[in-house]
Amino acid sequence: RNLARSCTRIKNHLKNQLRRNIMSKDKLIIFDTTLRDGEQSPGASMTSDEKVRIAKALEQMHVDVIEAGFPIASNGDFEAVRAVARVIRDSTVCGLARAKQIDIDRAGEAIKPANSGRIHTFIATSPIHMQQKLRMSPDQVLEQAVAAVRMAKKYTSDIEFSPEDAGRSEPDFLCRVIEAVIREGATTINIPDTVGYNLPHQFGGLVKDLIERVPNSDKAIFSVHCHNDLGLAVANSLSSVLNGARQVECTINGLGERAGNAALEEIVMAVRTRQDVFDCDTDLDTTQIMNCSRLVSGITGFAVQPNKAIVGANAFAHESGIHQDGILKSRETYEIMRAQDVGLSANKMVLGKHSGRNAFKTRMAELNIEFSSEEELNEVFANFKTLADKKHEIFDEDLQSLVTETSTELTNEPIKLVSLSVCSETGETPNAKITLNVDGKEKHAEATGGGPVDASFQAIEKIAKSGVELQLYSVNNITTGTDSQGEVTVRLQIDGGIYNGHGADTDIVIASAKAYVNGLNKVIANQKRTHPQRGKV
């Protein structure tokens, strides 16, 4: 009896200790820069409407800070940041600015409509950047950094400062700059590994050293922004969190310039899964991760590799007999996370041509896909029925693609694909006949090419006469099977601008034509914005 009482007492003590540990956990702030740094991937530019769609998805996932863009970069970027600031209510909307008056004023104007706005200003602090890029002395850089924070205070009290290329900066100088900008009013200090140069133990040690050495470090939250040039962005970020950083800057799918940024989904799930190691946690609704991943992939045209951690098609797939046997007996034998925790459904409803409207609508709701109108729902459902007649089983990825395709069809685009006929046979030159609806009028063209896709593009160009240069043609199957939809991405270049076109269909030639037309519509839309008299076909 005494032993039983002792066991109960120990059990209750451990429960109370665990409860205290959970309550004492720090919050790890998630700063998503998909719309800014992610967009800097060559070919990943997004329209204002696309940025708003992604921002809403990030807000639904409870991302703390959304860096919506670089307002000084262009009028389009300024308007996109302002559009995001108008619609986002629960997340902080951030605009990036160099440590210059013109940048900060532009960022301040862009975030003005936000319920909660932040200005993120930066200047390089590494010797190579100060000498070779800025042509400034350390004292001049320090003075400009402080002045930038002072200027930003006119617009908001939420100010983030980044010493660019901190990973290659001299620690003593970093301490001077950080102490000065905190004294001036910076509330978040971001330490970027701008070129992905650092190793985890070095970078974590740098963050710890700065927090300990800067006298007023307790007056600001320390953040990290790691690039993936050596494949260490997530490792460096997590090492920094273990050493005191309480904000991580990251992107959906690790999108970003060069080799990309730290992947949001990997950071969040590593911290959530290893709560025995991390003394902090995020507020994210991780069940929204998969939806956000697919949305960003669909809009940018950057496919997610199948073996990508957390969001890859194979992340929760098991083929080995030994693994399957273990999973059937106990999921934990080969899975450290549940598929449901990132937004996948273990009990997937199979949709096909016999499925009714209610089953379709229910599955869409489970995927957190909302329709802006009954018209949009009806249009997507009609397209779903058409697709179901072509392939036996409809997968979640097909539904995501249908929504993207239908939203494109519902927009008032000047060029629409009406019909396409191609002939390709051994020993003969492929031929394509196409009909396009251009501003309400049908136009026809015929062309030959090296293959059916090339012939189709040549026929489209006979009508469009756009003068674009095809930079990229990429095909991915959305799901498995020979009846899978093909997802085509084209990258078009004209007048220095790059435009992504996206199309999907079970017929890969039709998908290609859809993608090319989609890209041309983006070119025309941009030309009309910059030159109202241009863009006529």
Residue type, 319: E
Amino acid 410: pLDDT = 55
Residue-level pLDDT at 10 = 61
Question: Which token pair is 190?
Answer: 């971001």
**Predicted pLDDT at 173:** 97
Residue 4 has pLDDT above 90, yes or no: no
Amino acid 316: pLDDT: 73
Q: What is the pLDDT of residue 348?
A: 39
Q: Which residue carries 């133990």 as its tokens?
A: 201
Q: What Å distances lie between residue 115 and 79, 90, 405, CA to CA?
A: 17, 8, 32
d(CA 152, CA 138): 21
What is the pLDDT, as a whole number, of residue 306?
84
Measure CA of the first residue to CA of the last residue in the chain; give whole Å. Answer: 90
Cα–Cα distances in angstroms (integers) from residue 520 to residues 264, 442, 457, in the given order: 32, 17, 11
Confidence of residue 461 (pLDDT cuts 50, 70, 90): very high
Best CA proximity match to 80, nearest among 113, 57, 41, 103: 113
Confidence of residue 374 (pLDDT cuts 50, 70, 90): confident
Residue 72: pLDDT above 70?
yes
pLDDT of residue 19: 44
93-119 residue pLDDT tens? 999 999 999 999 999 999 999 999 999
Mean of pLDDT values over 384-399: 75
Is the pLDDT at 120 greater than 70? The verdict is yes
The chain-wide mean pLDDT, for the chain, equals 87
- Determine the pLDDT at residue 382: 86
Q: Regarding predicted confidence, which is higher, 45 or 318?
A: 45
Q: Please compute the mean of the pLDDT values over residues 331-349 and round it to a whole number.
A: 73
* Total-model pTM: 0.72
More confident: 9 or 420: 420
Looking at residues 388-405, what average pLDDT do you find?
72
pLDDT score recorded for residue 18: 46
| Res. 354 pLDDT band, cuts 50 70 90 | low
> ∠319-259-77 over CA atoms, to 5°?
115
Q: What is the pLDDT of residue 330?
A: 75
* 151-181 residue pLDDT tens: 999 999 999 999 999 999 999 999 999 999 9
Distance, in Å, from the CA atom of 337 to the CA atom of 316, rounded to the nearest integer, reads 9
User: Among 23-37, 305-319, 400-414, where is mean pLDDT lowest?
Assistant: 400-414
Going by pLDDT thresholds of 50, 70 and 90, the confidence category of residue 324 is low
Q: Does 20 have pLDDT greater than 50?
A: no
The pLDDT of residue 395 is: 72
Kindly state the average pLDDT of the residues 119-123: 98
Beta pairing partners, 469:
493
Residue 537: pLDDT over 60: no
Tens of pLDDT, residues 216-275: 999 999 999 999 999 999 999 999 999 999 999 999 999 999 999 999 999 999 999 999
Q: What is the arithmetic mean of pLDDT over 135-151? A: 97
Percentage of the chain modeled with pLDDT above 70: 86
Pairwise pLDDT comparison (89 vs 339), residue with the higher score: 89
Quick one: how far is CA 169 from the chain centroid? Answer: 29
Reduce the DSSP state of residue 502 to 3 states and report it.
strand
Per-residue DSSP letter, 341:
G
Tokens matching residue 78? 């300024």
Query: Sorting pLDDT into bands at 50, 70 and 90, what band is 448?
Result: very high
pLDDT of residue 156: 97
pLDDT at position 12 is 55
Q: Give the Cα separation of 515 and 509 in Å (integer).
A: 10
Give the pair of three-digit tokens for residue 183: 């004294």
Which of the residue ranges 116-120, 317-321, 507-511 would you say has the lowest mean pLDDT? 317-321
Q: Averaged over 499-521, what is the pLDDT?
A: 90
Q: Which of 205, 318, 194 is nearest to 259 (CA)?
A: 194
Single-letter residue type at 133: K
The DSSP secondary structure of 442-494, one letter per residue, reads EEEEEEE-SSHHHHHHHHHHHHH----EEEEEEEEESSSSTTPPEEEEEEEEE
* Mean pLDDT value across residues 183-204: 97
Tell which wins on pLDDT, 429 or 378: 429
* 272 in Cβ contact with 28 (< 8 Å): no
Torsion of CA 87, 88, 90, 91, to 10 degrees: -170
Q: Evaluate the CA torsion angle 243, 247, 253, 256 in order and state its sign.
A: negative
How much is the average pLDDT of 289-303?
91
Contacts 24+ apart (CB under 8 A), 260-263: 260/41, 260/227, 260/228, 260/233, 261/33, 261/37, 261/38, 261/225, 261/226, 261/227, 261/228, 261/233, 262/225, 262/226, 262/228, 262/233, 262/234, 262/236, 262/237, 263/233, 263/234, 263/309, 263/310
* Neighbouring C-beta atoms of residue 111, cutoff 10 Å: 24
| pLDDT for the residue numbered 183 | 98
CA 476 to chain centre: 19
